[in-house]
Structure 1
Amino acid sequence: MDHDRDEKNVSVLAPEDCLTKEDIRTQIDRLDVELISLFRQRLDYVTRMVDLKRSESLPGRIPWRVEEVALHVRQLAEEQGLDGALFERMWRELIDWNIAFEDGLLGDNHSEDEEKSR
């Protein structure tokens, strides 16, 4: 990857318009920049959720919500012709990381509160 390339100024090409491997690599790199930006935005919402959970004395992990999100992502992936099981596993890993992040901000006082959220 050419680290000097400015991914923000890369022209968007459809896959069928990519004529070289470099064209394809450039497009994948561009998408990676967008994905990381979206994950950053997602983390901003997770961080805000901590404030709301704290005000309601809720724990980071709310089991029914974990299941809801994981199954929703699986369905979305399958609707796009992707491997739903793969994306569900990826999202469960992401969710676990987010919960650990939330728990770190919430402190250790919420393990007994997890039962309230079931």
Structure 2
Amino acid sequence: MTKPASTTKKPRKQHTPEFRQEALKLAERIGGGGAAAARELNLYESQLHNWRSKQQNQLSSSEREQEMSAEIARLKRQLAERDEELAILQNGRDILREAPEMKYVFIEKHQAEFNIKAMCRVLQ
């Protein structure tokens, strides 16, 4: 027995990424959920929907990476500030109990080593 010819599978058509991008742009211009663009391009509407979903997932993952990079940079700056504050406190632990004039002398003496704003904030 041989299989009927109608049950054989058609080879799937592979679309280039450029074609997919252009198809999505066309679907946005035409509107209507992509049905008209799909008909015009001889595609299934579900193909456009899947391509759009994949594109949004890729964008959202790159946005997440950017957010994570920004968060890492912010945390590194915050850690550096805390390290500097700790070093100021270690060097000036005796100055905290002294008169303001002594704090000014300490700030002047260590201005090359530490940020002046940070010293003023820590020694308040």
Q: Give the TM-score of the pair, scaled to structure 2.
A: 0.35
Say which structure, 1 or 2, has more relative contact order (CA 8 Å, 6+ apart): 1
Kindly name which structure, 1 or 2, has the bigger radius of gyration based on alpha carbons.
Answer: 2
Q: Give the TM-score of the pair, scaled to structure 1.
A: 0.36
